[in-house]
Amino acid sequence: MTDIQFRSDVTLQLDDKMGDDAKVIRMAKASIKKTGGDMDEAARQGFINFLMRERHGVPFEHCAMTLYFEVPIFVMRQLAKHRISSISEASGRYTQMDGVFYRPVAQRPLIQVGRAGAYTFQQGNAYQDGLVQYVLAHASEAAYQEYEGLLEQGIAREVARMVLPVNVYTSGYITINLRSLMNLLSLRTANENATIKGHPQYEIELLAQRMEMYFASEFPLTYAAFEKNGRTAP
């Protein structure tokens, strides 16, 4: 059996981007046949802030990022719910699934407390931490062994993969425009500055935080306006 690998992180890398803060302004200024090219930094920040505050969302749709990701399938399922995006994912029909599985760090909160819609999560005790580590390792190894066994018997990849659990990693690319990205960040991060605080699962928040890092570095004025206006999509 091939040795399997455990990870407790997600990969997110900027592959490509379209536009910049100046483009957001240029698209908005189309209405008055101007470009905003003569504006200084303070005026540009003020104008983008105005667009965000007044919920003029379309200019932000003209800018986008393409991001390469490696995430467990249960995170992929959450990511794919963001319909205003384009996703291309590795195929479990055309390629063999790698034996790479998610196993959380020991500090990941394990215990759900509260009522539906208002949960908080707390640390587990040492026994619960150990149990999760052991059972995930054991179940992942057993599942991958069965998967390889089915492939060795000539079973098609699309059938053999049915034995794999949702903590197996997948990979692909997502292209998402800034308006949709802001919606994703508002839902998939639990930031104290948000007008409406998100309640994301720990693992998709890891991914969203890395998306936010690229958003801040590639579109700093738009990002600052997002922060200033309660971290909601315009």
Ligand X SMILES: Cc1cc2nc3c(=O)[nH]c(=O)nc-3n(C[C@H](O)[C@H](O)[C@H](O)COP(=O)(O)OP(=O)(O)OC[C@H]3O[C@@H](n4cnc5c(N)ncnc54)[C@H](O)[C@@H]3O)c2cc1C
Q: Please say which residue, 65 or 160, places its beta carbon nearer to ligand X.
A: 65
| 190 near ligand X, rule: CB under 6 A | no
| 64 near ligand X, rule: CB under 6 A | no
x/- mask, ligand X, residues 5-44, rule CB under 6 A, reads ----------------------------------------
x/- mask, ligand X, residues 76-115, rule CB under 6 A, reads -----xxxx-------------------------------
Q: State in angstroms the smallest separation of the CB of 226 from ligand X.
A: 15
Residue 112, beta-bridge partner list: 121
First to last CA, the chain: 51
The structure tokens listed for 41 are 């930094």
73-78 contacts, C-beta under 8 A, 24 or more apart: 73/166, 73/167, 73/168, 73/169, 73/170, 74/102, 74/166, 74/167, 74/203, 75/10, 75/201, 75/203, 75/204, 75/207, 76/170, 76/172, 77/166, 78/188, 78/201, 78/204
**Annotation marks residue 231 as catalytic:** no
Exactly one of 45, 167, 180, 222 binds ligand X (CB under 6 A); that residue is 180
| 199 near ligand X, rule: CB under 6 A | yes
Q: Please say which residue, 53 or 81, places its beta carbon nearer to ligand X.
A: 81
Residue of 103, 179, 188, 231 with catalytic role: 188
| 186 near ligand X, rule: CB under 6 A | no
**Using CB under 6 A as the criterion, which residues of the chain lie in contact with ligand X when the complex forms?**
81-84, 180, 183, 187, 199-200
